[in-house]
Structure 1
Amino acid sequence: MTPAVLRFATYRITKHPDTDVTYEAECLAHECGWKATPSTDGAAVDVDCMSHTSRTGHAGFRRLCTSFAFVVRDE
């Protein structure tokens, strides 16, 4: 019987170097359908949400932060 050879590799996850985090938001009011313009500036999306609240009284939002990543071998 041939002995087994085990090799372990360590990996890490890292931010994709050519992308930024994208922030988005959408109103949770029933049948509103409002969405903030996606932006790399989270504060700008927050301001859009506050402006929507001041116009409509809708106070609930779903916020998303999207980033892209690579898993690379840690050497």
Structure 2
Amino acid sequence: MTRSVLRYVPHRIVQHPDTDVTFEAECLHCQWKAQPSPEGEAVDVECMSHTARSNHRGFRRVCVSFAMVVRAE
């Protein structure tokens, strides 16, 4: 019979240090998409400009980030 020793190591999830958060948006009524940006306000302004031109008021907004699991210290 083989015996094993189990060790539990706590982990946590963190944002990947070499990446930024990216904000994106797309219109729910047509094929329009905002230019992805690290600044959410810039994407919001693009959405409002699209609404002014088209009267489309619904958008799908996405915040993309990359994460890593690391050992908790």
Instruction: Indicate the TM-score class for this superposition, using the shorter chain for normalisation.
Output: over 0.9
Instruction: Name the CA distance, whole Å, in 2 between partners of 1:3 and 1:57.
Output: 69
Instruction: Name the CA distance, whole Å, in 2 between partners of 1:37 and 1:3.
Output: 57
- Shift of residue 4 of structure 1? 4.1
Instruction: Name the CA distance, whole Å, in 2 between partners of 1:17 and 1:4.
Output: 35
Work out the percentage of aligned pairs sharing the same amino acid.
67
Structural mapping, 1:29-48, within 5 Å = 29=29, 32-48=30-46
Which runs of 5 or more residues in structure 1 are unaligned? none
Q: How many residues align?
A: 73
Runs of 4+ aligned residues of structure 1 deviating over 6 Å after TM superposition are none
Cα RMSD between the aligned structures?
A: 1.1
Q: If the length of structure 2 is used for normalisation, what is the TM-score?
A: 0.92
